Amino acid sequence: MTKKNREQVLATLESLYGLEKCGLDFDTPFELLIATILSAQCTDVRVNIVTKDLFHCYNTPETILSLGEKGLLEKIRSCGLSNTKAKNIILTCGRLLSEYDGIVPKSLDELISLPGVGRKTANVVMSNAFDIPAIAVDTHVFRVAKRIGLAKGKTVLEVEKELMKNIPREQWSHAHHWLIWHGRRCCVARNPKCAECKLQTLCDYGKQYLKEA
C-alpha cells in the first residue's frame, strides 16, 4: 500500500470513527488496568457490567486484595477464564503495592512485568490512561489492519511494529480505536460488509471483493 493510500485510509477511518473512545468504562488508571485484564476473550459490554459492580466497592489494589482470590473470583466469574484472571489480578495488586506504592506504572516494560499484563494490555493502559502514543493490537486490529493492507505480519508483534511504522506517531492511539470500531461495525470476522464499506476501493480485501462482485 502506498503512503498516499494509507493517508486516505486513515482519513476515512477518522471521518467514520473519530469521536470513538475506549470501549471499557474506567475512572482511574488502576480501573482501566483491571478492566483490560478482564477483557481477554471477553466483550467490553460484559466487562463493563462486571466492573460496574466490582468498582463500586473495590477499585484500588488494597480493596481488591481485601477480597482475596476466591472473593474476586465470584465477582468476575462471568468474564470467562476467571480463575486465571483472579489469580493474576491478586498478584498484580500485590506487586503494585510492594513495588509501586499502589500506583500503576506508565512504562511498557514495567507494565508487562505485572502478572496477566501483555503488550496489548500495557498499550491500552498507556494510551488511554496516560495519553502515551501506543497501538494495542487486539483481534479486531490484527484482522482489520491485515485486510486493509496497513500491515502484513503473521504475529501480533509484527503487526504492531508495522502499524507503528506506517501510521504517524500522533495518530497511533486514535488509529487503534478507529480500527477496533471498524472491525466491530463493518469489517467483522465473518462475512465482512464490503458492499457498504467506505474503504472498499482502498482496501486490499475490498479490491478483491470488487473484482469478484
- Residues identified as active-site: 120, 138
DSSP notation for 80-120: SSHHHHHHHHHHHHHHHHHHHTTPPP-SHHHHHTSTT--HH
DSSP structural state of residue 199 = T
Phi-psi region of 197 (alpha: psi -120 to 50; beta: other; left: phi over 0): beta
Query: Residue 187, annotated ligand binder?
Result: yes
Assign 23 to helix, strand or coil.
Answer: coil
Query: Residue 93, annotated ligand binder?
Result: no
Among residues 121, 127, 163, the alpha carbon closest in space to that of 143 is found at 163
Tell the residue number behind the cell numbers 488508571, with chain if given: 29
Binding-site positions for [4Fe-4S] cluster read 187, 194, 197, 203
Binding-site positions read 187, 194, 197, 203
